[in-house]
Structure 1
Amino acid sequence: MSFKFIKFTGLIFVFFACRDPKVIPNISSQRIPIEKSIKPKPSIENLIKPYKLHIEKSMNEVLCYSINAHSKKEGSLNTAIGNMMADAVFELSAPLLKKRYGLDLDVVLLNHGGIRASLPKGPIRIETAYNIMPFENEVVVSQMKGSVVMDLVNYLRTAKRAHPISGMTLKITKSGELGLLKIQNKPLNLEKTYNIATSDYLHNGGDRMNFFKKNDSVFRLDYKIRNILIDYFGSQDTLKPKADMRFTYTKKR
């Protein structure tokens, strides 16, 4: 598994005074680097071995296949892997939102920095989903007036970064001016209320997406983005994600 382990452990020595059990007169610590010179303890290895084998078996389960490898660095304003993630969140969140709250999903917005690994070529495993999305982020749906959605659009317009979106078409000039904006293939209505799916991290202001603080209502789906990826991969035979025209530069200056 591609997990990063803590490279240091620490020993803390606490010395208690005999005269008063409530007093700790001295505390000392020692930094011990975890490196190859430290030999594993057989008793500990035997203890964790069955759990390790179980996790490895689960993580190595093949869910589908990808024709090509895709990195989040491949595009300027939208990427194949980002589009796949946003579309997966839309596809699996929309029916849940409808069933639980009777609402229609309009847009999905994730963040470019939240994509933590590339999509490899070949077998796509459960481990792949953990590598791409190692965080415990969950999907939440924020209900916004069109005027607040415009703040979201302005954020994307000025950031000029490939934050994954779905359900929205956006074109900007090289200078950052708005050229085209459509939601579900319709012009933005400033008076309409839209349902925007995002992660709880972004909804709380992550990546400086402070416009979510102006929302009308928030609906929780209790669905981790990582689990969405696992379910999405499991529903596919072959992945063919691609960059498209959902967020691009317009030729107009």
Structure 2
Amino acid sequence: MTLKHYFLLATALAIYGCKQPQQFLTKVEGTEINISDSIYADPRIEAYIKPYRKHIETYLDSVLAYSKETYTKFDGEYNTALGNFMADALYEQANPVFLKRTGKNIDMSILNYGGMRAIISKGNVTIKNAFELMPFENSIVVVALKGHQIDDIIAYLLKSKKANPISKLKLKIDKDFNVIEKTINGEAIDANRIYYIATNDYLYNGGDYMTFFKPNVGLYKLDYKIRNALIDYFTKIDTLKPVIDDRFIQIK
């Protein structure tokens, strides 16, 4: 073996010998830190954030409308005043945007029962109420479905047996949950027609088991958050007075 070969072998052995052994995670440990009154706020941090907190509180307390009564999602069986308000507000605010962009009207809207996270109390309605009702960053989308797919939406509503917010869709069922009447905007549902349904991006992607939006004929993203739509609607209506109606009823 030549001197050159010895040199190369020694270098390789030196490099190999310096190589760190491969390490593996074998255990993770943690400790619980309780947050209580014993942990005092840092006055320097409090002083720094005070003007920002005041600005946010002033914004959230801005009065937009007045509510004639207190409304909750528990005040009806298959449709509630609060749910009707949510679905109607979605439709009213989304339709002008959709019409301007596409030249078409939205046919109906649907949200989920679990998405209503607060009540609206009698008295002043503020921006804070909109954040409480819709604390998520969900945005409005419009989905184009064929008429026969509306039956999948109806099947979902019947199976859930909850007051999921709907607007422009009308359902009447018997005591055995058989559909007696189903219309959109007062007209019989045409299996061959394309309907445009307003909802939010969470539900479009299968949230709350709403899998009926796929497949579809088209998807339109309005870049308009549900919360912002509520704020705009509150501002527009002045006085909030939704009612329980006959959009989804059971004949017993």
Residue 56 of structure 2 corresponds to which residue in structure 1? Answer: 55
Label 1:192 to 1:38 Cα distance change in 2 as closer, same or farther (>3 A): same
Q: Distance in 2 between matches of 1:75 and 1:43?
A: 50
Aligned pair 1:227/2:206, yes or no?
Answer: no
CA contact (8 A) 1:94 1:104 kept: yes
Residue 228 of structure 1 aligns to which amino acid in structure 2? A
Q: Distance in 2 between matches of 1:202 and 1:190?
A: 23
For residues 190-235 of structure 1, the C-alpha deviation after alignment (integer angstroms, 9 at most, x for no partner) is: 0000000011111111111111112111000111111111111111
Residue 148 of structure 1 corresponds to which residue in structure 2? Answer: 149
Residue 166 of structure 2 aligns to which amino acid in structure 1? I
Residue 86 of structure 1 aligns to which amino acid in structure 2? A
Aligned pair 1:116/2:121, yes or no?
Answer: no
Q: Percent of pairs identical after alignment?
A: 45
Moved >3 Å (runs of 4+): 22-30
> What is the deviation of 1:160?
1.6
Q: Identify unmatched segments of 5+ residues in structure 1.
A: 1-18
Q: Distance in 2 between matches of 1:34 and 1:209?
A: 38
For residues 166-211 of structure 1, the C-alpha deviation after alignment (integer angstroms, 9 at most, x for no partner) is: 0111111222111110001100100000000011111111111111
Q: Which TM-score applies when normalising by structure 1? A: 0.87
Residue 200 of structure 2 corresponds to which residue in structure 1? Answer: 199
3-state SS of the aligned residue for 1:69? coil
Q: How does 1:96-115 map to 2 (within 5 A)?
A: 96-115=97-116
Higher helix share: 2
> What is the deviation of 1:46?
1.1
Q: Distance in 2 between matches of 1:174 and 1:160?
A: 12
Q: Identify unmatched segments of 5+ residues in structure 2.
A: 1-19
Q: Which TM-score applies when normalising by structure 2? A: 0.87
> What is the deviation of 1:121?
0.5
Label 1:26 to 1:250 Cα distance change in 2 as closer, same or farther (>3 A): closer
3-state SS of the aligned residue for 1:32? coil
Q: CA RMSD in A?
A: 1.9
3-state SS of the aligned residue for 2:73? coil
3-state SS of the aligned residue for 1:136? coil
CA contact (8 A) 1:144 1:196 kept: yes
Q: How does 1:1-253 map to 2 (within 5 A)?
A: 29-251=30-252
Higher strand share: 1
Q: Distance in 2 between matches of 1:60 and 1:33?
A: 31
> What is the deviation of 1:23?
11
Q: Distance in 1 between matches of 2:129 and 2:214?
A: 32
Label 1:150 to 1:24 Cα distance change in 2 as closer, same or farther (>3 A): closer
Residue 92 of structure 2 aligns to which amino acid in structure 1? E
Q: Distance in 1 between matches of 2:139 and 2:176?
A: 34
3-state SS of the aligned residue for 1:65? strand
